[in-house]
Structure 1
Amino acid sequence: MAAAAIRPMRLAALTKTRCSIFQTAYNPTSARTGAKYLRARLRGPSMVKYYPAEANIAQIIRQWPELEMRNYAEEERLQDVEDKKKRGKGAPKKAKEKGDSRRAGRKR
């Protein structure tokens, strides 16, 4: 004697009930929902733990001035900016008002 086949309608009702009990998404058409990626564990916290905290020299110098440390990279950068300004290659001055900007003079 052959086992009776279960009707698809009954299987769908069973799946729907199972989804409501276990709080999973009911997706009878198998449409792509991205649920797999939304359920996945977040990677950010693990990556933050893996890489050590980066030392910020400027912050350390400001925090402990009694150490009399010097940030040579920052001093060199400031000197380069000063040299560029002397040669006329520095950043343009910021406009105080709307009419002072270079764009205000150009009209299309």
Structure 2
Amino acid sequence: MTTALSSQFKTLTRLRCEIFQTTYNPKNLRTGAKYLRARLRGPSMVNYYPQVVNVAAIAREHKGLELIDPKEHQRLEDVEDRKRRGKGNPKKAKTKADSRRAAKKR
């Protein structure tokens, strides 16, 4: 009696899966369906962080506005400060005689 009841239950389950278009998994194998049905996280993460305004790109597009990018302005000030203290980039050699290699060979 239990085998007949269990086979009827399996048949009923299979028919239910066909009608409601769900997966029939009689052996309870891992299918990953839970993760495939889950809501995607990407759109929520994108909406969480605010949009960043790129001042440099806007300044390049509209040159008449004379916008100043605060980060770029600070960077240029730092470069000037380093040059004043003698920590800037070395000067480029304009001729072959100006290069450091030529000075070593003498």
Q: Which has more radius of gyration? A: 2
Deviation at 1:25, TM superposition (A): 1.3
- The one-letter code of the counterpart of 1:86 is P
Of 55, 59, 62 in structure 1, the residue corresponding to residue 60 of structure 2 is: 62
Structure 1 unaligned regions, length at least 5: 88-108
Rounded to whole Å, the distance in 2 between the matches of 1:54 and 1:38 is: 32
Answer yes or no: is 1:16 the counterpart of 2:14.
yes
The answer to which of 33-42 and 58-67 deviates more is 58-67
Deviation at 1:46, TM superposition (A): 2.2
Rounded to whole Å, the distance in 2 between the matches of 1:37 and 1:10 is: 31
Q: CA RMSD in A?
A: 3.1
Structure 2 unaligned regions, length at least 5: 81-86, 92-106
- The one-letter code of the counterpart of 1:63 is E
Rounded to whole Å, the distance in 1 between the matches of 2:18 and 2:49 is: 41
Match of residue 35 from structure 1: 33
Rounded to whole Å, the distance in 2 between the matches of 1:8 and 1:40 is: 32
Of 75, 86, 96 in structure 1, the residue corresponding to residue 90 of structure 2 is: 86
- Residue identity over aligned pairs, in percent, reads 47
SS of the residue aligned with 2:29?
coil
Change (3 A) 1:86 1:19: farther
